[in-house]
Structure 1
């Protein structure tokens, strides 16, 4: 089903019947990925005394579950600059558009004194002069263990401050990555890549040129069979008044060459 879309004065052709979901499902199983030293999500039926909100219990005509999770630590999530500021900012209030041109790039990690880092050079080479609205970063090597990895205390790879600055200066407004954070796990609270991308110089008193309408999406997974290149991104969030929301980024291959 080829569909023609007008986006930012450009004509884009996509096949809406072939979505590429790059989110990781959230479950209450041991297969759920975890970061930031927390336990797995909890999904369980409501209990009112002896009554259980579960059809198979024979007590309820509906399944009626409570869900307890952390968007940052339990799977694919999209965050706004409110993640690092003293003043409250909501992803639901700052993300107001949901379709973007995106470039999917695969990058090798560079070993820098026992840290594995995504460098500016690798991002610059992968983009090759392109300036999409969003960048989707797939780190190599890539395998399905990312769908269930336990990241706590493992010092995962991260994005160099210079790489985040280059992405910002390229005009890219939405950064998606298959890691639990763009920053180093234990960095003494510096959050260099977050700050560089959002152009936040003072988390206590937000500077006027901070990038309010830009987002970071972490813990995605892009299968190997999805080729690097240009896509239309549909960035879906739940309407949480919070700095971050679980999200469902979906890619659609662009069929024409106008971009």
Structure 2
């Protein structure tokens, strides 16, 4: 048990009991897919007379993995996703420094029709778009203190298990955030946003990546971070939050490999937090 002091409260966290919200990656098998990417594969290494497969006579298993972090499963991305690689402020997964426990709130929303939301997005919303709107976030986060919103996990409803293997394409376009919704997250001080959809932006958005640019405060059309850019923030996409994990306050451990890349497969873990004392 770990006791954490946060703002004007104390919380007890059982770090031995965790809720992973990462989709397990099944190589060469059904898995989530976005943007028509190749599936993630695993093949035994071969070198000279060695084969990395015990079932084929090898002494041990050594697989060579091929995957696209953005399109094959749960992944976390940094501002380097939209910035030039030689930009000084373009932090990679290996560069970014994230505390081991982040105050995190889990909310659930039912995406709504984009036109009916009355909110802004570029390119313009169509009658086929399903969005997560500012109005929905304001309602879901109204009673949550800012200190509990270093990270926010957004679960979309209905919450079908086929999200773990769903292929997102033009016939099955996922919901995304409106520009107004992202601005609200920034206003509330959210540094890490996690979603169960493959992107904060529309599947086909004319290359604008509006919500990515707004979240990191990189000017539209630019691939250079500036003095006002929010470079230490992350976006985690294509998570899966099982129904047995209730909406509420948690501490998040965002586990990532030290990849010198704009994105990497990740394993976000939620730990339940029990409030002990409202006044320190």
Please give the TM-score of this superposition, normalised by the length of structure 1. 0.94
- State which of 93, 103, 121 in structure 1 corresponds to 2:135: 121
> Alpha-carbon deviation of 1:91?
1.7
> Alpha-carbon deviation of 1:107?
0.5
* Contact 1:87–1:204 under 8 Å retained in 2: no
> Alpha-carbon deviation of 1:175?
0.3
- State which of 237, 240, 246 in structure 2 corresponds to 1:221: 240
Q: Secondary structure at the match of 2:219?
A: coil
Partner residue in 2 for 1:109: 111
CA distance in 2, matches of 1:155, 1:129: 31
Q: Secondary structure at the match of 2:201?
A: coil
Could you tell me which runs of 5 or more consecutive residues in structure 1 were left unpaired when the two chains were aligned. Answer: none
> Alpha-carbon deviation of 1:7?
5.5
Partner residue in 1 for 2:208: 190
- Residue 204 of structure 1 pairs with residue 223 of structure 2: yes
The RMSD of aligned alpha carbons is 1.7
Could you tell me which runs of 5 or more consecutive residues in structure 2 were left unpaired when the two chains were aligned. Answer: 115-126
Please give the TM-score of this superposition, normalised by the length of structure 2. 0.87
Partner residue in 1 for 2:63: 65
CA distance in 2, matches of 1:257, 1:79: 34
Partner residue in 1 for 2:34: 35
* Contact 1:15–1:252 under 8 Å retained in 2: yes
CA distance in 2, matches of 1:201, 1:122: 26
Partner residue in 2 for 1:171: 189
1:65-104 residue pairs with structure 2 within 5 A?
65-88=63-86, 89=90, 90-104=92-106
- Residue 246 of structure 1 pairs with residue 246 of structure 2: no
